A and B are shown apart, each in its own frame.
Chain A
Amino acid sequence: MSVKLKALLKSPWVFHLSTGSCNNCDIEILDCLTPRFDIERFGMVLVGSIKHADVLLCTGSVNRKCIPKIKELYEQAPKPIIVVAIGECALSRGMFINSYNCPVTLDKIIPVDVYIPGCPPKPEAIIAGVAKAIEKIKKSKLQR
């Protein structure tokens, strides 16, 4: 395992991107940071810039105006980056599947590593999802 990746897995820094969500998933993400769930014990910190991030958390049904912005953010992100789709909207657009403003799902735009379903998912589910992402990368080809 490269030193870079090992460091990434010890303390994944997280960037949170809302692609037009109703803010429920965003509230649950912020909930993870509170003392009750306290994801900082896994070394996870929310960062303000994608250039510092190792994990990209995406919430919301991806709307037309947001698609170029998502692509831009993904290009700016330092690789390797783990993309986590949070909530039913980011997974399959939920109730907005026939909306004129939501043409495709998130995984058709950027590669998604972990899907966390729920509307909104519980903080426990989000923590479990990110922990699974770390496990996945430990075992994956990226190690070489």
Chain B
Amino acid sequence: MNKDAILNNIKGKFKDTIKDFSEKSPRRVYIEIDPKDIQDVVKYIFLDLGARFNTASGLDTRSHFEILYHFTFDKLGFIVSIRVKLSKDNPKIHSIASIIKGAEWIEREMNELIGIDFAGHPNLKRLLLSDDWPKGVYPLRSDYKEWDKDAIRDRGI
């Protein structure tokens, strides 16, 4: 299957689901979908088209939270990034860990660093932060403020 066939397949199957489509370069395509359709789209791209799940990245923009699920077609050197936008008040999306086991840890990481809630995740606990980190403080959000009163932020010279 070549690149055009893959894109036509995705476009044909999810005609009503795709909100935005942009081709950044010949090897890189961004597809924006609604958060509620994520499981169907991931199932199709991962299981039917046989793409590899590379990683997911979370982002805190001005108006919303954003997750990009990066799928690569290694034989073609082609990357499809699925973009979902979540509201700032209630950032919630269904987990894809039931389809892709490898997405479990990156979802845990996004949960603790940005504060996105993944519904249906099998084991949504802390991954990287230390145990004394307070609940509800997310370090990679743009409105993060220092909470630790004992922290020293000078070089001591």
Interface on A for B, CB 8 Å cutoff?
63-65, 67, 92, 97-98, 100-101, 103-105, 108
Q: What bracket does the count of chain B residues touching chain A fall in?
A: 10 to 19
Please, which residues of chain A bring their CB within 8 A of the CB of B146? 100
Which one, B4-12, B50-58, B126-134, is touching chain A? B126-134
Choose one: A65, A67, A92, A101; the contact of B155 (CB below 8 Å).
A92
Q: Contacts A92-B155, A92-B156, A97-B155: A103 and B130 contacting too (C-beta < 8 A)?
A: no
Given A92-B157, A100-B139, output 12 extra A-B contacts at Cβ < 8 Å: A64-B129, A64-B130, A64-B133, A65-B128, A92-B156, A97-B155, A101-B129, A103-B150, A104-B150, A105-B152, A105-B156, A108-B152
Q: How far is the CB of B72 from chain A (nearest CB, A)?
A: 27
Q: Are A101 and B152 in contact (CB under 8 A)?
A: no
Choose one: B139, B148, B155, B156; the contact of A103 (CB below 8 Å).
B148
Q: Interface on chain B toward A: helix, strand, loop, or mixed SS?
A: loop
Interface on B for A, CB 8 Å cutoff?
128-130, 132-133, 139, 144, 146, 148, 150-153, 155-157
Most A CB atoms within 10 A — which of B144, B148, B151?
B151
Q: How far is the CB of B20 from chain A (nearest CB, A)?
A: 33
Q: How far is the CB of B145 from chain A (nearest CB, A)?
A: 10
